[in-house]
Amino acid sequence: MSSVATAPRRRFDLGVLGNLLVVLALVALAIGLSQWQAEPLRWSFPGRGRVWAAGAVAALYAGFVAAIAVSRTRRARAQALPAITAQQRGDWLVAFASQTGFAEQLARRSYEALRDAGLHADLAVLGSLDAAQLAQYPRVLFVVSTTGEGDAPDSAAGFVRRVMAQAGELSATRYGVLALGDREYTEYCAFGHRLDHWLRHSGAQSLFDLVEVDNSEPGALRHWQHHLGLLAGHTELPDWSAPSYRPWRLQERLLSNPGSVGGPVFRLGLVPADGDALDWRAGDIAEIGPRNSAADVAQWLATLSLDGAEIVRHEDAQEPLSALLSRSRLPDPNAVRGQGAQAIADALKLLSHREYSIASVPADGSLQLLVRQMRYEDGRYGSGSGWLTEHAAMGTAIDLRIRSNPSFHAPSDARPVLLIGNGTGLAGLRALLKTRIAAGHRRNWLLFGERNAACDLHYRAELDAWQADGAIERVDYAFSRDGESRTYVQDVLRKHLDAVREWIAQGAAVYVCGSLEGMAPGVEAVLHEAVGVETLETMAANGRYRRDVY
**What is d(CA 108, CA 78) in angstroms, rounded to the nearest whole number?**
11
Can you give the length of the chain in residues?
A: 550
Q: Are 329 and 312 in contact (CB under 8 A)?
A: no
Q: Are 384 and 288 in contact (CB under 8 A)?
A: yes
Summarised one tens digit per residue, pLDDT across range 471-496 is 999 999 999 999 888 999 999 999 99
H-type alpha helices, 98-147: 102-116, 131-134
Give residue 291's pLDDT: 96
Whether 28 is covered by a domain: the verdict is no
Cα 333 to chain centroid, rounded: 31
Average pLDDT over residues 338-363: 95
Distances, alpha carbon 413 to alpha carbons 18, 432, 507, in Å: 64, 13, 11
Give residue 146's pLDDT: 93
Q: Count Cβ neighbours within 10 Å for each residue of 117-156 and write b for 16 or more, e otherwise.
A: bebebbbbbbbbbebebbbebebbbbbbbbbeebbbbebb
Give residue 537's pLDDT: 87
Do 387 and 444 lie in one domain? The reply is no
Average pLDDT over residues 417-429: 98
DSSP secondary structure string for all residues of 153-200: PGGGHHHHHHTTTS----TT-EEEEEEEE-TTSSSTTHHHHHHHHHHH
Do 517 and 477 lie in one domain? The reply is yes
Summarised one tens digit per residue, pLDDT across range 431-485 is 999 999 999 999 999 999 999 999 999 999 999 999 999 999 999 999 999 988 8
Give residue 27's pLDDT: 74
Number of domains in the chain: 3
Do 203 and 251 lie in one domain? The reply is no
The angle at the Cα of 493, spanning 492 to 495, to the nearest 5 degrees, equals 65
Q: 68 pLDDT exceeds 60? A: no
- Detail the DSSP E strand segments found in 209-296: 211-214, 246-255, 265-272, 285-289
Q: Are 69 and 99 in contact (CB under 8 A)?
A: no
Average pLDDT over residues 266-284: 95
Type and span of the H or E element at 498: helix 497-505
Do 226 and 370 lie in one domain? The reply is no
Whether 424 is covered by a domain: the verdict is yes
Distances, alpha carbon 113 to alpha carbons 110, 215, 488, in Å: 5, 22, 34
Q: Please report, for the domain that includes residue 286, its CATH number.
A: 2.40.30.10
- CA proximity to 194, closest of 536, 509, 535, 541: 541
* 6 band by pLDDT with thresholds 50, 70 and 90: very low
What percentage of the chain has pLDDT greater than the value 70? 87
- CA proximity to 243, closest of 230, 228, 229, 226: 226
Whether 297 is covered by a domain: the verdict is yes
* DSSP letter assigned to residue 259: T
Do 284 and 422 lie in one domain? The reply is no
Do 327 and 382 lie in one domain? The reply is yes
Summarised one tens digit per residue, pLDDT across range 27-39 is 777 777 666 766 6
- CA proximity to 191, closest of 216, 213, 222: 213
Whether 500 is covered by a domain: the verdict is yes
Q: Which domain holds residue 321?
A: 246-403
Last residue of some domain: 403, 419, 447? 403
Summarised one tens digit per residue, pLDDT across range 169-225 is 999 999 999 999 988 888 899 999 999 999 999 999 999 889 999 988 888 998 999
Crossing angle of helices 497-505 and 519-531, in 10° steps, is 70
Q: Please report, for the domain that includes residue 133, its CATH number.
A: 3.40.50.360
DSSP secondary structure string for all residues of 64-76: HHHHHHHHHHHHH
Do 227 and 268 lie in one domain? The reply is no
Give residue 296's pLDDT: 95
* pTM reported for the whole predicted model: 0.77
Mean pLDDT score of the chain, rounded to an integer? 88
Q: 44 pLDDT exceeds 90? A: no
- CA proximity to 353, closest of 412, 291, 416: 291
Last residue of some domain: 370, 403, 436? 403
Summarised one tens digit per residue, pLDDT across range 118-163 is 899 999 999 999 999 999 999 999 999 998 778 899 889 999 999 9
Q: Are 410 and 436 in contact (CB under 8 A)?
A: yes
Whether 51 is covered by a domain: the verdict is no
Whether 239 is covered by a domain: the verdict is no
Do 442 and 389 lie in one domain? The reply is no
Do 388 and 413 lie in one domain? The reply is no
Do 251 and 383 lie in one domain? The reply is yes
**What is d(CA 384, CA 102) in angstroms, rounded to the nearest whole number?**
30
Last residue of some domain: 368, 403, 438? 403
Q: Please report, for the domain that includes residue 516, its CATH number.
A: 3.40.50.80
Q: Looking at this protein, which amino acid is placed at residue 383? A: S
What percentage of the chain has pLDDT greater than the value 90? 68
Whether 73 is covered by a domain: the verdict is no
Give residue 22's pLDDT: 74
Backbone angles phi, psi at 312, to 5 degrees: -130, 160
Q: Are 510 and 490 in contact (CB under 8 A)?
A: no
Q: Are 121 and 92 in contact (CB under 8 A)?
A: yes
Is 302 buried (19+), middle (13-18) or exposed (0-12) by CB count in 10 A?
A: exposed
Higher pLDDT, 85 or 534: 534
* 78 band by pLDDT with thresholds 50, 70 and 90: very low
Q: Are 97 and 153 in contact (CB under 8 A)?
A: yes
* 86 band by pLDDT with thresholds 50, 70 and 90: low
Q: What's the Rg (C-alpha) of the chain?
A: 30
Give residue 73's pLDDT: 44
Q: By three-state DSSP, how is residue 480 classified?
A: coil
Whether 80 is covered by a domain: the verdict is no
Do 228 and 275 lie in one domain? The reply is no
Do 493 and 543 lie in one domain? The reply is yes
